Structure 1
Amino acid sequence: MEAEARELERIAKCRAENSWLALWIDEEKVYKYRVALIMSWIVLGVYFCIFYCIWGPWTDAMFAMFDTVSMPCFIKLYI
């Protein structure tokens, strides 16, 4: 009876260790994906900032060339 209890205890410890290891691996994966998501948002933000600095000042001059009466879709760009 005592040997059976020790065997069950050993099995329970082994399962607990395996579940702890699986939890640790999953937490590491979540951390990696979280870092990748944050880095992608930062890269996207920097890209849009650089794109606006290069392209932004030219868009006002470009759209000013068009007549808004004949092209009413450009009226929304001035709002």
Structure 2
Amino acid sequence: MPIKKVPIAQPTTPPLKEIDILSALDDVQVEEEEEIKEIKTEPKVPVAEAFALGLKIKKSTLNENSYYKYENRILQFQR
């Protein structure tokens, strides 16, 4: 059975409207700036204390040999 070719209509786009940018902005309302709110920050921790906490957490996840190597790299980095 031969295949019948049927032309497909191409979609048409509506013509572009010409607008005046300045008059379009007249309708836009500018919101007033909100007051700056204080941001709650976490307490600051000294770097050495943060490394110690990180090592403590890491010790529970690594085996003894891996932890020893990891700890040496961290201590060398701190120095």
TM-score grouping bracket, smaller chain normalisation = under 0.3
Name the larger-Rg structure: 2
More helix, by proportion: 1
Relative to the length of structure 2, the TM-score reads: 0.23
Relative to the length of structure 1, the TM-score reads: 0.23
- Tell me which of the two structures has the higher relative contact order, counting C-alpha pairs closer than 8 angstroms and 6 or more residues apart: 2
